[in-house]
Amino acid sequence: MGAMSWRESVLALLVLFALALWIPGGSYIDPTLAAFVVLSLMLILMSLVAIYFLSHYMFASLTAHTTAMLPMMLAAGPAIPGLSAATLAMGLALTTGIMGVLTPYATGAALPYYNRGYLTPAQFWRLGAIFGLIFIEALPGVGIPLLAR
């Protein structure tokens, strides 16, 4: 077994916090609200990465998006207690690599498919949304465990 890691300690504190909100706070705090608060604390990393990923729709290119958003996200992350800056940076970097499928103007590789008519604009946006969701859903199951090595 060994000593508890930092992640295990944070998870244990969140579980104790959830119990403290549920048991003694039952008459003051709705149990659903308590569960939502604790769950949101556990999902902060995923939320930051998802916001970074989906905000690409507001930018004209990956370069513009990365230049504007990555420093802001990397500055906001360490301010959250228990959030590893290295894990956040790797999560953001991994999404930067996969968000080229989202829009027809995201990367140079997407332009020939879009401009030559292989895909209509509606098909490109629809497939970008489908594959973007597949990639962002696969990231926690595939990408994040690779970071733990």
80-124 residue pLDDT tens: 776 778 878 888 888 887 887 777 777 777 777 777 888 888 888
For residue 57, pLDDT over 70 is answered with yes
User: Are residues 101 and 137 both part of a single domain?
Assistant: yes
Verify that 27 and 72 share a domain, yes or no. Answer: no
Check whether residue 10 and residue 81 sit in a common domain. Answer: no
CA 34 – CA 38 distance, rounded (Å): 6
Query: Does residue 49 sit in the same domain as residue 72?
Result: yes
For residues 26 and 93, state if they share a domain.
no
Domain extent, residue 76, equals 44-147
Q: What is the DSSP letter of 84?
A: -
Looking at the fold, whether 20 and 74 belong to one and the same domain comes out as no
Cβ-proximal residues to 146 (8 Å cutoff; 6+ apart), any chain: none
Same domain, 36 and 54: no
Domain count, the chain: 2
Whether the CA torsion 74, 80, 84, 87 is positive or negative: it is negative
- Please give the model's pTM, rounded to 2 decimal places: 0.62
